[in-house]
Amino acid sequence: MKKKKNKKKVRTIQVDYLARVEGEATLYIQLEDEKIREVKLKIFEPPRFFEAFLRGRNFAEAPDITARICGICPVAYQMSSVHAMENAFGVQVEGALRDLRRLIYCGEWIESHSLHIYMLHAPDFLGYPDAVRMAKDHPEIVKRGLGLKKVGNEIISLLGGREIHPINVKVGGFYRTPTRKELQVLLPSLEKAREAALETLHWAAQFDFPDFEQDYEFVALSHTEEYPFNEGRIISNRGLDISVEEFEDYFQEQQVEYSNALHCLLRGKPYFVGPMARFNLNFEKFSPVVQQAANSIGLLPGLKNPFKSILVRSLEVLHACEEALRIVQNYQEASSATIKISASAGKGYACTEAPRGLLYHRYHINSQELIEEAKIVPPTSQNQKIIEDDLFKLLEHSLHLEEEKLQEYCEHAVRNYDPCISCATHFLKLQVERK
Amino acid sequence: MSHSSTPKLAVWKFASCDGCQLSLLDCEDELLAISEKLEIAHFLEASRLQIAGPYDLSLVEGSITTAQDLEKIQKIRQQSKYLVCIGACATSGGIQALRNFQDVKEFSSAVYAKPHYIETLKTSTSIASHVLVDFELQGCPINKKQLIEVILAFLQQRQPNIPSYSVCVECKQAGKVCVMVASGTPCLGPVTHAGCGAVCPAYHRGCYACYGPMESPNTQALSRRWQDLGASRKDLVRVFRTFNAYANDFHKISEFHEKKEK
Ligand code: SF4
């Protein structure tokens, strides 16, 4: 952290490398006479140009290539890309194959959320630099977190072949589907995980949450019968209700000079995606057991405090365990691992719910089955503006804090969103300049 | 390693997806035990604590794509007793090395409306093309069991036991049916570095070489086999240009097919 002073009393607070987030970013805050002038979340992670080099690739390569955008949520990229391709070719995956896709997504939610709850976010609440050092005082808790994370990875490995960049997802379905017996192996770990998820929720409910509420526009998918994963309309708490194809009519990406990630806005305004948005907009789609668990800690829709996102993530882990159990118990082997695809020229669109929120893909396929154009809007570029807004408001009430505390507080507020910088450049250095 | 205290581990990131460093956190059963043998001195994805170097072991993920990163890797080398590259990005430039075959200016204008804000080099290159490296662990992503073996080997000052044969050998050792022989599915196993455990054939899919080239691969012979199975030159260019496109042997063969195609 650097501190600068001149006649006008300028103060800069800068976190050069934001820790416990995926990828690289800086936070820069400038104060003039103790008034906030600027808050910038600068993503300096180098761009990797996925949308550019997807052009000219075969449509079938999209799930493997786009997975490499993010090692933490590869399944999300695979899901959005295969659904977009199937949309282009006018087909839909149903029955057991659809269930297996939901199951692998459950695995990723459990894995990614447990990683964030225990290893990235809880240390902020309990005052440790990291989970490994937290484990010295709370070994059983950290072990529980690692155990949960492992169950998420077990699902992904069984269905996908391996936990990072699974190899078994393809346009039309899978390369190979598991037998009923193979899938049943997951049952004992899932039952244990469900218990651990409930314990996680009650443990996190005891944390001290800063009193901070904002009036956000929440955006998430909404499906008529289910808590959303791969399908649904895009809705908000302020009346938005559109199909996935209409995404670009309402949401615009904006380039800002200080960041290698694009900011996405809804009708020119910032909006909020991710677990809290899904929770607020889809609460009644949770099973009675999950709803009851939420009620037991007083967690109700209409939630406006982003520091409580850790509770929502814990609840979504519980939901994902339940959903996974349901799918495994009811699984009937599909007659074929994949449906028939006849590729044709066209445009395809898909939005799915990545652990961090809405993930949009659009592709144009030509008559040679090659990708002519690709567009990908990841959750973190959608939340970036909201994160800056939160920091702005949070700082208004916290400037009395000493520098070190202020920095920690800002970092904590950023981690509320579980930002994934690798995705957004597709993150953080905190810099506060005081004038 | 350092004689006095616990050895210091640092994990560094360049252009990458974070997947390879995540592999360390994915060692759910071993992570706490490993952290007792080593001090995690620098690992931004996992910790706020940044303990100054020098470091006994640096794990480097990602490829070099900016001028700042070129400077950063030199400093890391100076501060590290051993430097180990983890993953295809670090060992060959990764998927983002596809830019090396095209015009970067044109690339940034496809993704960003104002490309002049973006600072990037023309190429994405491996760590070894800039500094001396002590070991390269291939894979996109790396295998976490192999990662533990590499860390333990450096702790014990011995050579890591990482076989350099092909995926084909692993496939046979695992007693799996060859997808190329049994169902005529084109497979890159014969030229690809082992380490994944032949996972694709186990799922009835041909290997797509995410572990990069093995030592002296016969890419010509395999190309002919693929052509017999119906692959065009264009297909072959694409097949060798994925996650390890700029690894020497794959780079050469994809250029060969590209020339022949024209
Ligand atoms: S090698 Fe693959 S898995 Fe590893 S960081 Fe690079 S893109 Fe991610």
Write the CA distances from B168 to B138, B206, B254, integer angstroms: 16, 11, 21
CB atoms within 10 A of CB B248: 12
Mean pLDDT of the B199-214 span = 97
Mean pLDDT of the B30-54 span = 90
The dihedral built from the CA positions of residue B52, B55, B61 and B62, taken in this order, carries a sign that is positive
Cis check for the bond before A123: say yes or no (omega within 30 of 0): no
What integer best gives the mean pLDDT of chain B? 92
The C-alpha atoms of residue A228 and residue B105 are separated, in whole angstroms, by 39
Quick one: which of A361, A367, A360, A377 has its CA closest to A342?
A367
The domain defined by B8-155 folds into: Rossmann fold (3.40.50)
Contact B57, B81 (CB under 8 A): yes
pLDDT digits (tens, 9 = 90+) for B100-122: 998 766 666 666 655 555 567 88
- Residue for token pair 């001195």: B41
HSE toward the beta carbon, residue A254, CA cutoff 13 A: 17
Which of the listed residues B12, B13, B14, B17 should we mutate to test ligand 1's pocket, taking the one with most ligand atoms within 8 A of CB?
B17
What pLDDT score does B147 carry? Answer: 97
- Taking contacts as CB-CB distances below 8 angstroms, the residues of chain B near A430 are none
Is residue B98 within 6 Å of ligand 1 at its C-beta?
no
Interface membership of B94 toward A (CB under 8 Å)? yes
The span from the first CA to the last CA of chain A, in angstroms, equals: 16
Interface membership of B58 toward A (CB under 8 Å)? no
What residues does each domain of chain A span?
Answer: 62-256+272-382
The domain defined by A62-256+272-382 folds into: Cytochrome-c3 Hydrogenase; chain B (1.10.645)
Q: What is the DSSP string of B7-56?
A: PEEEEEE-BS-SHHHHHHHT-TTTHHHHHHHSEEEEETTTBS-B--S-EE
Q: What DSSP character marks residue A15? A: E
Contact A173, A97 (CB under 8 A): yes
pLDDT band at B3 (very low <50, low <70, confident <90, very high): very low
The C-alpha atoms of residue B118 and residue B108 are separated, in whole angstroms, by 7
What pLDDT score does B73 carry? Answer: 97
pLDDT digits (tens, 9 = 90+) for B117-168: 556 788 999 999 999 999 999 999 999 999 999 999 999 999 999 999 999 9
Token digits for B183? Answer: 């169902």
Interface membership of B205 toward A (CB under 8 Å)? yes
Token digits for A34? Answer: 């103790």
Is residue B87 within 6 Å of ligand 1 at its C-beta?
yes
Q: What is the DSSP string of A118-146?
A: IIIIHHHHHT-SBHHHHHHH-HHHHHHHH
In Å, how far is A145's CA from the nearest CA of chain B? 9
Give me the total of CB pairs closer than 8 Å, taking one residue from chain A and one from chain B.
182
Note whether B238 contacts A57, CB cutoff 8 Å: yes
Note whether B205 contacts A135, CB cutoff 8 Å: no
What pLDDT score does B107 carry? Answer: 64
Is residue B94 within 6 Å of ligand 1 at its C-beta?
yes
What pLDDT score does A425 carry? Answer: 45
Helix, strand or coil for residue A419?
A: coil
What pLDDT score does A257 carry? Answer: 63
Low-confidence ranges of chain A (pLDDT < 70): 1-7, 15-23, 43-45, 255-262, 421-435
- Taking contacts as CB-CB distances below 8 angstroms, the residues of chain A near B236 are none
What pLDDT score does B102 carry? Answer: 81
Write the CA distances from B250 to B58, B218, B257, integer angstroms: 27, 10, 11
Ligand 1 centre to CA of A272 (Å) is: 29
What residues does each domain of chain B span?
Answer: 8-155, 167-261
Quick one: which of A337, A301, A313, A93 has its CA closest to A203?
A313
HSE toward the beta carbon, residue A146, CA cutoff 13 A: 21
Facing A46 at nearest CB: one of B15, B32, B204: B15
Q: What is the DSSP string of B196-255?
A: S-SHHHHTT-----TT-B-SS--HHHHHHHHHHTT--HHHHHHHHSSTTTTSHHHHHHHH
Facing A255 at nearest CB: one of B28, B113, B196: B113
Comparing alpha-carbon positions, the chain A residue that sits nearest to B38 is A132
Contact A313, A117 (CB under 8 A): yes
The ipTM, to two decimals, is: 0.94
Stated pTM of the model: 0.93
Question: Sheet holding A219-222: strands in order across?
Answer: A219-222, A233-236, A241-242
Note whether A115 contacts B107, CB cutoff 8 Å: no
What pLDDT score does A39 carry? Answer: 82
